[in-house]
Amino acid sequence: MSERWPGDADALVRWVRAGIRSLAVDGQELRVRGLDRVGVQAAVDGVDVTHLSIDATGADVAFRVNVDDAAPNAVAAEIAPIAEEAGILHDFRLRAQPMRVEGHELRIDLQAHDVPIVWNTYPRPVHPPMPESVHMLEPRTGGGGRGSLDASMRTQDVGPLITALLRPALKEGGIRLSRVALDIARLGPDGIHVRAFLRARWKVLPASARADLVVKTTPDGVITIDDLSLGSSNPLVKTALLFARGYIASARGTRIDLNGMLADSGSTGRIHDLAITTGERFGISARLS
C-alpha cells in the first residue's frame, strides 16, 4: 500500500461508500434508501484513479419536508487543507438503471475520462459526521478531460416530481401545493413548449395558476427562455400576477450560456451536443470535452 492517498483501491472504495452513507445521516435534507445495493468498484495508481464506477441502481432518494431542520454539522467546515496532491481521474462512471427520486424512476449514465483532480488533506474532517472527509477530491483548476451525460425519466412523472420538490419550500411560506401538471412537447428542431398548471392553497384560500414556457437550446450549451406567460382564473392570483409583469417581461429572452459559466469557473472544458428529448420520456444528454 502506498503512503500517498488514496494509495489503494480498498481505501478509495471505503471513502466513496462513506460519502454515500453520509447522505443518509438523520437530520439532513436527503433520505437515501437502498445504499446496500449501491455498487462501487475502483482501481488506483498512487494518487491517480485509474477506474471508479458507482452503480446506484435501486437507490431511493427522498427529500425531507422540514428543510430548515438540517443538522448544523451537515455543512462543510471552512478549513484550509494542509496538503494537496494532483492526480488524474482516468475513468469514472455513475449509472442508475434506474434509481428512484421521490418515488419516480430516473435513469442516468454519467461518464468522465482523463479529468485532472486534486486530493486535499485537511487537519480534521470537513464533514464531522464523516471521518473519512479528512480527504476530499475536487477538479483541478483549469479543468480538462472529457465526458458525457444521458439522463431521462417518464414525461408523465416530471410534474409529480416537481410537485414533490417544491412542496417543502412552499410549505415554509404557508402555501400547500396540491399538484403541478405539465404538458411537454417538442417545438421545432431546437425548442420545447411547456404548459404547466399549478393548484395550491394559501391558508383557507384556494389558488391556481397556469404558465406557458418556450425554451430553446443549442448544441453548444446555450439555453434561452424564448417566451413566458403566466395567468390564472383566480382573481387574487390574477391581481398578484399584475405586480409581476415586469419580472415576467425581463425573463423573456433570458440566455444561459453553460460554456460561459464553465469558462468563468476556470474550466477549459466545453459542452457539445446538448439535447433535450421529449415524448414518452423526457431527457437531457450532452458531451463534455
Beta-ladder partners of 192:
186, 215
pLDDT tens digits, one per residue of 50-88:
999 999 999 988 876 544 444 444 444 578 999 999 999
- In a domain? residue 77: yes
- In this structure, the answer to whether residues 264 and 165 fall within a common structural domain is yes
End-of-domain residue from the set 109, 140, 171: 140
Residue 147 lies in a domain: no
Considering the domain boundaries, does residue 249 fall inside one? yes
Q: Are 47 and 87 in contact (CB under 8 A)?
A: yes
**What residues make up the domain containing 63?**
9-140
pLDDT above 90: percentage of residues in the chain: 54
Residues 231, 116, single domain; the answer is no
On whether both 254 and 191 belong to a single domain, the answer is yes
The partner residues of 61 in beta bridges, in order of sequence, read 32, 101
180/279 same-domain check: yes
SS3 call for 236: helix
Give CA–CA dist 193/187, Å, rounded: 6
According to DSSP, the β-strands at 30-33 and 48-55 are: unpaired
Say if residues 114 and 144 touch (Cβ distance below 8 Å): yes
- Examine the domain organization and report whether 60 and 33 are in the same domain: yes
Note whether residue 107 is domain-resident: yes
Would you say residue 109 has pLDDT above 60?
yes
* 209 lies in the same domain as 120: no
Q: Lowest-pLDDT range, 11-20, 31-40, 62-71, 114-123?
A: 62-71
Nearest-angstrom CA–CA distance, 31 and 60: 8
Asked if residue 283 is part of any domain, the answer here is: yes
Report the alpha-carbon distance of residue 20 to residue 128 in Å, rounded: 15
Residues 20 and 97 occupy one common structural domain: yes
Backbone angles phi, psi at 156, to 5 degrees: -70, -15
Radius of gyration of the chain (CA): 22
Look at residues 140, 169, 199 and tell me which one is the last residue of a structural domain.
Answer: 140
Q: What is the largest CA-CA distance in the chain?
A: 70
* Domain membership flag for residue 108: yes
Answer whether 168's CB lies under 8 Å from 63's CB.
yes
- For the chain, the domain total comes to 2
Q: What is the DSSP string of 33-70?
A: E-GGG-EEEEEEEBTEEEEEEEE-TT-EEEE-S-GGG-
Task: Let me know whether 107 and 200 are in one domain.
Answer: no
Phi and psi at residue 22, to the nearest 5°? -65, -20
Of 128-132, 152-156, 221-225, which range is least confident?
Answer: 128-132
Cα 137 to chain centroid, rounded: 18
Helix (H) or strand (E) segment spanning residue 246:
helix 245-251
92-104 average pLDDT score? 94
Residue 1 lies in a domain: no
pLDDT in tens, 191-247: 999 999 988 887 767 888 899 999 999 999 999 999 999 898 888 788 878 888 888
Q: Which three cell numbers stand for residue 68?
A: 430548515
Picking from 83, 115, 140, the residue at the C-terminal end of a domain is 140
Sign of the Cα pseudo-torsion (10, 13, 19, 22, in order): negative
